[in-house]
Structure 1
């Protein structure tokens, strides 16, 4: 076992001053690690909307090229539950810290290689095939990253502040989006269109290799979490944690996946698909749309911790349900503005769309993490979180492209968003709220087994 008794005992024996230092380091490692992971992931998303159709699918029509590009985008989401299962096993066997180092390396190296990958005009069919392979690696890495990053902060800190501490990993999403989209925006604005489409888009992918080095330095300086260290010291680790969590907590896994529908699916429509729609249907510039997404992501740097802290005070479910209902109410006005509004209104709509997302995404880390006992938490939380990627996040831009092409109206996409919100409301309602429970006590979970 990688996490030895000595390190487990050292974690448990940490004095108050040392523990405070470790809490700060864990929060920083959680935020910076997920920032790097999501920076890489969002780079791909932006490139899939703006660059990949002509680089890797040059002979396709505009519609077919977008569909093919978003299909490779969806592959990464399909791989996420696989990553959650693989790294969930190791995260609940050898510890959060060691597992997170591996996921960080996988993600960074895959992104760096994307930045060096020749296009179809150079190496033919091998180019899109290699692109899909690298996307699979990215998906597997991000599938194992999320739950470990959340638990790293949540299991180190004060139980009364689990919502806020868990949100440090969630903040990595808007920071990664700001850095990834910001890099693309800067290059798109400063380079000629030909230079950007030829080589400029590759620079942010290559820069991810530098960020990985920074992330590794930070993660190597933290100790294992006290909650998992106690499990190791008491010899309570499971030999087959993924099998056990599926057997005993399948209900929580499915509900965790379902509660993500109105958070994840609209998010990828509002940050990725909007790039295609606004540029192709409304003739807006790439730079304008990228700037709108960039400002919206910056807003979440404030709103995610805010709503997470409110969930510590008022309960996760109350804040989360409010966000899900607002998402459903926003669906038709958002696409009405996107289809008929001027540039200023579209900018405001993109900005406001991130508020209900933050109301869900902030408290989500703790809401899902609290649903599983410590010795099964990495795998259980990861599977629940990433399973939604197959049905909500991954297919969203693909289905939106198909719906618009088939129906001719963006309001068909609004219906899609409303259905997702309804699924979320039902799942959140059924999931127990353990905002104030002692999650070190396994009896909190065993009483609810079916």
Structure 2
């Protein structure tokens, strides 16, 4: 059995009270909510407006693929950001890096809302959009991993699955805020004004949300585990080399465990929004409402799955969650393809809720794969590499649907992703660091 990189741990860190643990988890949740709000704004806009505002083509599939390619570019930048910010987080601390990444995400999102479109500045518009997307991707590359780690390292070992699930709730909250923002603007200003300028308002709203996040995060203390490393002088000087050399098995298995929660989600949201509007000719409002209601249900699924992870261990939750997602994949897409508004919304809700079960415990699973001194680097590289693959899921699904004129490629992709995640649940216990009181 492969051993993890640098499994030596420093002396026990200072104990943290339950109230401090909850405060840290809340701060992580607020930050990830802004992160996903910003990122989901882009994914929803990629399906709804970027193809008309920045990528001009008479063929809607070509315009959509250009838009989704920009979405994918951000995911390609994420592992680079993971390398950069992960290594910095293992050298200078979790809190400092989390402040930098949240600023980068919020500022870039606001700038996207102010960016002139193709009709105004021509080809410079999509180029600038890609540049901003890259910067956003770099910042996101260090954000989620740092938020989950600081929540886990401030939690009692036996309750890490529960508190690692809290930052995950930032995902549906971000979805609710972003989809709600688009849905609200569409309702208030109408389709014509929404396409012309209304879509920009939710992006610009990221600036005041950033100010709130900075205020909350600024009150955090450093992770006690990392503080103990700093005090003992045991921080890792070359965390990237150590992780890539000694923990490649952990990276592969961790990637698969995170794949469904990221790639599957974008399939059921971004791709389905495009497929529903352009192929099934369903209304924007219906699909945005489906996304919104799915996110509301996801919050409950994440809380429940986090408790199950605490009770049975993350690996079992990932295994059975992946199996369940594979089983519902075809029924979910059949419901969406029915064009019946109730079934479409129900299909989106069920699909997102089920794939959220392994996503809830992926933070606990990934943090257990790496020792404290290389944890930020390891988790960042692993989660963001999974993100790269996930970023291409809507693009691949769109291309296959364009060729087949059927929903089956989407369903097949969801089955494959679900099976890979389920298989990772089998291998996780053998590769994880076992601490007293922890269930794997």
TM-score interval, normalised by the smaller of the two chains:
over 0.9
Equivalence for 1:295: 293
Classify 1:323/1:12 alpha carbon distance in 2 versus 1 (closer, same or farther; 3 Å): closer
Work out the CA distance in 2 between the residues paired with 1:110 and 1:287. Answer: 27
Q: Alignment partner of 2:205: what SS?
A: helix
Q: Alignment partner of 2:160: what SS?
A: helix
Of 260, 263, 268, the residue aligned with 1:262 is 260
Classify 1:184/1:44 alpha carbon distance in 2 versus 1 (closer, same or farther; 3 Å): same
State the 1:318 CA deviation: 1.2
Of 88, 102, 105, the residue aligned with 1:104 is 102
Of 142, 145, 153, the residue aligned with 1:144 is 142
Work out the CA distance in 2 between the residues paired with 1:149 and 1:213. Answer: 17
Deviations 1:382-419 (A, max 9, x none): 1111111122x111110111111112221122222222
Work out the CA distance in 1 between the residues paired with 2:35 and 2:260. Answer: 22
Q: Alignment partner of 1:238: what SS?
A: coil
Of 114, 130, 133, the residue aligned with 1:132 is 130
Equivalence for 2:400: 403
- Deviates further, 245-254 or 69-78: 245-254
Classify 1:190/1:116 alpha carbon distance in 2 versus 1 (closer, same or farther; 3 Å): same
Work out the CA distance in 2 between the residues paired with 1:339 and 1:195. Answer: 29
State the 1:13 CA deviation: 5.7
Alignment of 1:183-262 (within 5 A): 183-262=181-260
Work out the CA distance in 1 between the residues paired with 2:112 and 2:372. Answer: 36
State the 1:267 CA deviation: 1.0
State the 1:59 CA deviation: 3.5
Q: Alignment partner of 2:162: what SS?
A: helix
Q: Is the 8 A contact 1:160 1:436 kept in 2?
A: no
Equivalence for 1:80: 78
- Deviates further, 32-41 or 265-274: 265-274
Work out the CA distance in 2 between the residues paired with 1:189 and 1:181. Answer: 12
Q: How many residue pairs end up in the alignment?
A: 429
Work out the CA distance in 1 between the residues paired with 2:205 and 2:260. Answer: 32
Of 68, 71, 77, the residue aligned with 1:70 is 68
State the 1:301 CA deviation: 1.4
- Deviates further, 328-337 or 229-238: 328-337
Deviations 1:57-91 (A, max 9, x none): 12442111001000000001111111110000110
Work out the CA distance in 1 between the residues paired with 2:219 and 2:306. Answer: 26
Work out the CA distance in 2 between the residues paired with 1:157 and 1:424. Answer: 26
Deviations 1:11-44 (A, max 9, x none): 9667x6xx34432221111000000111000001
Equivalence for 2:177: 179
**TM-score, scaled relative to structure 2:** 0.94
Q: Is the 8 A contact 2:79 2:381 kept in 1?
A: yes
**TM-score, scaled relative to structure 1:** 0.92
Q: Is the 8 A contact 2:75 2:137 kept in 1?
A: yes
Of 326, 329, 339, the residue aligned with 2:327 is 329
Q: Alignment partner of 2:37: what SS?
A: helix
Classify 1:394/1:173 alpha carbon distance in 2 versus 1 (closer, same or farther; 3 Å): same
Work out the CA distance in 2 between the residues paired with 1:192 and 1:150. Answer: 39
What do you get for the CA RMSD once the two structures are aligned?
Answer: 2.0
Deviations 1:309-345 (A, max 9, x none): 1111111111111110111111211121222251111
Work out the CA distance in 1 between the residues paired with 2:400 and 2:436. Answer: 43
State the 1:439 CA deviation: 7.8
Q: Is the 8 A contact 1:89 1:242 kept in 2?
A: yes
Alignment of 1:50-65 (within 5 A): 50-65=48-63
Equivalence for 1:4: none
Work out the CA distance in 2 between the residues paired with 1:440 and 1:89. Answer: 28
